[in-house]
């Protein structure tokens, strides 16, 4: 087993509202007049709770292992 340094960056817990599509709901419609609609449709969404983190293991200056959850890394292009 090699000795290594481990770094853990915790970005916390995030709550995200995810919308669902219902084909019965029209998002755009042509109407002659605007009318007030009350409680016609129930909201359609769910709450997604996730934690975000990055973990690195280093030996000297080299990364020997890394792991992430719910973190998007930008890609460096040449």
Q: Is pLDDT at 38 greater than 90 in this prediction?
A: no
Q: How far is CA 12 from the centre of its chain?
A: 12
Write down the pTM of the prediction: 0.50
Strand partners, 20: none
* Tokens (6 digits) for 62: 């080299």
Query: Going by C-beta distance under 8 Å and a sequence separation of 6 or more, which residues neighbour residue 2?
Result: 59, 64
Q: Residue 22: what pLDDT? A: 53
Residue with tokens 């995030």: 14
Look at residue 76 and tell me if it is in a domain: no
Q: Residue 23: what pLDDT? A: 53
Q: Residue 19: what pLDDT? A: 72
Q: Residue 32: what pLDDT? A: 52
Look at residue 57 and tell me if it is in a domain: yes
Q: At 77, phi and psi to the nearest 5? A: -110, 145
Domain count, the chain: 1
Q: Using CA atoms in the order 71, 72, 73, 75, what is the torsion angle rounded to 10 degrees?
A: 170
* Structural domain boundaries enclosing 58: 1-20+43-71
Q: Is pLDDT at 64 greater than 90 in this prediction?
A: yes
Look at residue 56 and tell me if it is in a domain: yes
Q: Residue 33: what pLDDT? A: 55
Look at residue 30 and tell me if it is in a domain: no
Look at residue 66 and tell me if it is in a domain: yes
């Amino acid at each position: 087993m090699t000795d290594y340094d481990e770094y853990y960056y915790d970005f916390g817990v995030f709550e995200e509202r995810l919308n669902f599509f219902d084909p019965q709901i029209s998002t755009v419609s042509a109407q002659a007049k605007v009318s007030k609609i009350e409680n016609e449709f129930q909201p359609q969404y769910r709450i997604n709770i996730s934690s975000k983190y990055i973990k690195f293991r280093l030996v000297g200056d080299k990364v020997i292992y890394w792991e992430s959850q719910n973190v998007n890394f930008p890609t460096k292009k040449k």
